[in-house]
Amino acid sequence: MADDYYVEPDDTTRGVVLYVPPLSYHKDDDADTYCKDVERQDYPLTFFGEGEAPLVPEDPFFYLELTTMRFPEKSAAQIANSVIHFLNGNTTSRITKTSSRKFTIKADIVFDDALCGVKARVYRQASGQHCVEMQRRSGDTIAFNRFYKSLSQHMQS
């Protein structure tokens, strides 16, 4: 319609941004070869006994997630190293970052054929006991719940 008053030339260029997960995992691949571009390396145990985990914040708006495990007789370094040991041995995972100052561990995991990003943080409570809070940062919720159950069983043994 050349005479249509409301028609304007459409010279707009549109684009699409697609999310690319941090790991290239395909369901048909073997679980041990989930990441073809990055070689799997066991992450070293980076937490030592001399460091002290931060206290749980006293902010009234801060709360620990329901996925928090408490350990009255373990040190913060033992808890963090146990999480790293579990990630290195019992799951298909890639640890992406650790901080011995904050007592945090970030990892990308493949659990039950689903990808999930997790973060673990160790806190010291006022009573002297320690706890580790697990958070899902990205990915599949069901995989995170199953991962958490498996981790909690590992940590209790």
Q: pLDDT digit string (tens) for 8-64? A: 666 666 666 555 555 444 444 444 444 333 334 455 567 776 678 889 998 999 999
CA pair distance 30, 36, nearest whole angstrom: 11
Domain spans in the chain, listed from the N-terminal domain onward: 52-156
pTM over 0.95: no
The answer to whether the CB of 129 falls within 8 A of the CB of 149 is no
CATH topology of domain 52-156: TATA-Binding Protein (3.30.310)
